[in-house]
Amino acid sequence: MDVNDNKNTTRTNINFPTMSTDYVEIDDALYSRQRYVLGDTAMQKMAKSCVFLSGIGGLGLEIAKNIVLAGIKALTIHDTEICQPWDLGTNFFICENDVLKRRNRAEAVLQHIAELNPYVHVSSSSLPLNETTDLSFLDKYQCVVLTECRLSLQKKINAFCRSQCPPIKFISADVHGIWSRLFCDFGDEFEVSDTTGEEPKEIFISNITQANPGIVTCLENRPHKLQSGQFVTFREINGMTALNGSIQQITVVSPFSFHIGDTTKLEPYLHGGIAVQVKTPKVFHFESLEKQIKHAKCLVADFSKPEAPLQIHTAMLALDQFQEYYNRKPHIRSQQDSEELLKLATFISSTLEEKPEVNADIVNWLSWTAQGFLPPLAAAVGGIASQEVLKAVTGKFSPLCQWLYIEAADLVESLGKPEREEFLPRGDRYDALRACIGDSLCQKLQNLNIFLVGCGAIGCEMLKNFALLGIGTGKEKGMITITDPDLIEKSNLNRQFLFRPHHIQKPKSYTAAAATVKINPQIKIDAHLNKVCPATEAIYSDEFYTQQDIIITALDNVEARRYVDSRCLANLRPLIDSGTMGTKGHTEVIVPHLTESYNSHRDPPEEEIPFCTLKSFPAAIEHTIQWARDKFESSFSHKPSLFNKFWQTYHSAEEVLQKIQTGQSLEGSSQVIKLLSRRPRNWFQCVELARLKFEKYFNHKALQLLHCFPLDTRLRDGSLFWQSPKRPPSPIKFELNEPLHFSFIQSAAKLYASIYCIPFTEKDLSPDALFSILSNIKIEEFKPSKKVVQTDEAARKPDHVPISSEEERTAIFQLKRAISSNEATTSDLQMAVLSFEKDDDHNGHVDFITAASNLRAKMYSIEPANRLKTKRIAGKIIPAIATSTAAVSGLVALEMLKVAGGYPFEAYKNCFFNLAIPIMVFTETSEVRKTEIRNGITFTIWDRWIIHGKEDFTLLDFINAVKEKYGLEPTMVVQGVKMLYVPIMPGHAKRLKLTMHKLAKPSTEKKYVDLTVSFAPDSDEDEDLPGPPVRYYFNDDTD
């Protein structure tokens, strides 16, 4: 029986051809962040792929959402169930009306799924899929995904998928209460083009030995980060040139060296060279579901419980058997059913190859909760399963081989022995959740106050989880506060699933709040448009934080995370942080008095590109892109801003001329006057300015460098100046017909016209119009200057360059000429300031940076980058995909349940995953560190000593109060970065008599100040002993 050919099928255009070879245009405005994760080849394959998904419960819907957002060609959703009240708590697209009308689940959600992506054909089917169904209808799909499907039928469909040529990729996934499983079978041989998705590594070489095997050493302080067995190719080697273009397999010797084949017969190595990693396809071998049941290959996610996957595997097989026998799942908290399941598990274990030990706790909790459903677990598993679907249809990234079990047993292990009634259904939307965590915790969730910072991709997913869990729905208590200052852009729609095209340019927070209320009408959300930063502390005050039960960050930068963490620390609030970058994701849970805080650990700062490398000696495309971005900022943002600020201070050119002539030094005057004197007056002059810049940047700069350092220049030790990583430049001669040259002129002229407010038309931008202007522009010949070229890598860009007397005279002359020519009017003293905007393809910003970067790359013989890569690096775009966002949000929500329940330290887990490899690692959180001062007096970051003062309270009073209350006398008092009292500092002894009010200078609304104190060491040689923060209240009536 064909599941698709039936009158119940909605949107019937589903007889899709097998994968075509036609090119599909990729909508960059929608998919830009995802393109950086998957690449265009994978995106093309995906856009030609059809997927069949059976089972549209909570897990099936999560998978459908993610793969439709990603942009497959077509999806058929299949389900035979009718909407029930508890679907409202598991399926975020089913509403109360669907339950009342007893609609089929697939038909109820079809339109909502289709709205997620206009490029994807979504259809539904509600026909039976069982042991007697003719499966030939599946041959039009590249991937089949089964959820809520009996094991016997899974085996039958898996066998059919394997019998096809090529095999149809098969995935099955299930969530039973607090337990989940995921299985993949992509056929006997599945070739993956790129196993990791990481950029191929480029390694600068300092030496290659003539030996067997030859050892390649990379430049000092630059580890190669390669692994044995990988392949590299070489280029630009001087001396041992036979290696250039060859591909060699490597064996790692150290972080800075690796060996290759026999180099004894090659010419000696002289200098230079780059080794580039070569990505090679890898074939993965899968076994059928039938075989894998007996001999399961599992990915271990929690290394503290390596035996758990096989134990859960056994228990779940017993559950499958139970359903076959009794045509139902075990009853909630039924002792009889759990005993029966344990017998089945014991028998099944004896039939498996590994004969795993049966874990009675796992079997019991599986039996007791199997009828339930935990939405955050479905979000996590759904994200991972969706990524496996994308791997199946693209051959990009390493697939799961072949089972993954994720559980939330920590949730029930800390519940103790609650009454059976706690878990029984009550006929509402939370019955599935109640069966997992009990009614008491459900009530706590409904009464929670949560502050969600950020309503982007993770924020949208979190709000969906909140709605399904009933957070903030209590009649008396409970509120979700959300804030995000951003407006919705088209590129957000690819991951931020609460938004639709008609929401573009509307506030994220208001729109997300409205969409969340549709999922759960009882939810209460207070949506704001504020940044959370020092400037908004009047809104997000201490009082606000103390009213919150949990703070959850959905931010995209470290600085904001650190700030929110500091506010949570100051107000003793739990914080759950998370983030994604491409297929990678992390979660971190921070609980007062139990764990370290986010600020307790710091990643090493990002390496800055040395100033001299950017200015004169680029060695990689990243250097030329950063140079081009800096040129954009300098020419079109910084200089216009400086220009406007100057003329707001001095209101006329005559006033400035008079001041300079009388010897006054006006900061920035020389640069401002130069800008005024060179101000273009029409489109012709904008093109002329762009042409002059071309000559300066890409011809004269190279000639000047080669004038200072001819190609045969040698250093004091006799080695060549121009050797790796320094690359000698070659001047570029302007060619009218070179597309790259034309692109630079066109985009630069356009930007100059924008900042000088000069109108231009589309016709002005045409090749004919520009060629006509360019052919009339005269270019002066290069004359070497006496400028010193900086070669010291440690040198930084100078903040202020002194003005010479000659430059001052030139400025006076230029300003006089501008005044006399009537070219210093009020309108001449204004410029438009451009802010770099990466996602507007019509503003010319990325075009300018791409052309400038690639011209500079050509000048230095560096491999150029396409517009997409340039946009990512220049715009500091974080690659993103819906799969990892969904997975992260589910993991955060699982930890949130534990925080809400007040669970002990052992229950909390941090997680890191990379869905591309795939790996998933759960670890214990960092336990808070105790610091001993002396005599057994200890403190942690969460401790705070409190001193109440009054208006005339002096610093000496404060020190005595600390000594009297805590038994230790402070020897140093610091407020932030301000030292209030350090005895050895001159004049500080006098401060003892000053009032705390005068020393700390609080703002009017501040009732307290947080101070850091330290204490005298035990001996003179030691450093002062640190103490906890001391919160000093200016009046004794506050706390």
Q: Is the distance from CB of 478 to CB of 524 less than 8 angstroms?
A: yes
User: What is d(CA 246, CA 234) in angstroms, rounded to the nearest whole number?
Assistant: 6
User: What is d(CA 350, CA 337) in angstroms, rounded to the nearest whole number?
Assistant: 20
Report, in angstroms and rounded to the nearest whole number, the Rg of the chain calculated over CA atoms.
Answer: 33
The strands making up 449-453's β-sheet, listed across from edge to edge, are 525-528, 479-483, 449-453, 550-553, 575-581, 584-590, 909-914, 919-924
Query: Which is the catalytic residue, given 612, 686, 708, 911?
Result: 612
Tokens read off for 344: 């089945």
Half-sphere exposure of 926 (CA within 13 A, CB side): 14
Identify the residue whose tokens are 């990678």.
584
Tokens read off for 721: 């100046």
Closest by Cα among 2, 24, 22, 1 to 14: 2
Burial-class residue 229 by CB neighbours within 10 Å (0-12, 13-18, 19+).
Answer: exposed
Identify the residue whose tokens are 């909390």.
908
DSSP 634: I
Identify the residue whose tokens are 């459908």.
64
Tokens read off for 862: 């560096």
Q: Report which secondary-structure segment, H or E, holds 407.
A: strand 403-407
Q: Is the distance from CB of 741 to CB of 694 less than 8 angstroms?
A: yes
CA dihedral sign of residues 497, 501, 507, 512: negative
How distant, in Å, are the alpha carbons of 314, 357, 775 from that of 351?
A: 10, 12, 85
| Distant-in-sequence, close-in-space partners of 955: CB < 8 Å, separation ≥ 6 | 973, 980, 981, 991, 992, 993, 994, 995, 996, 999
Q: Is the distance from CB of 61 to CB of 89 less than 8 angstroms?
A: no
Q: Report which secondary-structure segment, H or E, holds 451.
A: strand 449-453
User: What is d(CA 162, CA 527) in angstroms, rounded to the nearest whole number?
Assistant: 50
Any idea what the Cα angle at residue 832 is, between residues 829 and 833, rounded to 5°? 120
| Distant-in-sequence, close-in-space partners of 592: CB < 8 Å, separation ≥ 6 | 572, 573, 574, 942
Half-sphere exposure of 646 (CA within 13 A, CB side): 25
User: What is d(CA 850, CA 845) in angstroms, rounded to the nearest whole number?
Assistant: 9
Q: Is the distance from CB of 54 to CB of 154 less than 8 angstroms?
A: no
Buried b (16+ CB within 10 A) or exposed e, 567-589: bbbebebbbbbbbbebbbbbbbb
User: What is d(CA 296, CA 293) in angstroms, rounded to the nearest whole number?
Assistant: 6
Half-sphere exposure of 578 (CA within 13 A, CB side): 34
| Catalytic residue flag (residue 401) | no
Q: Please state the φ and ψ torsions of residue 275, each to the nearest 5 degrees.
A: -100, 130
Half-sphere exposure of 66 (CA within 13 A, CB side): 29
> What is the three-state SS of 811-827?
HHHHHHHHHHCCCCCCH
Tokens read off for 405: 């079990």
Residues in the chain: 1039
Identify the residue whose tokens are 């005044």.
819
**Residues assigned a catalytic role:** 612
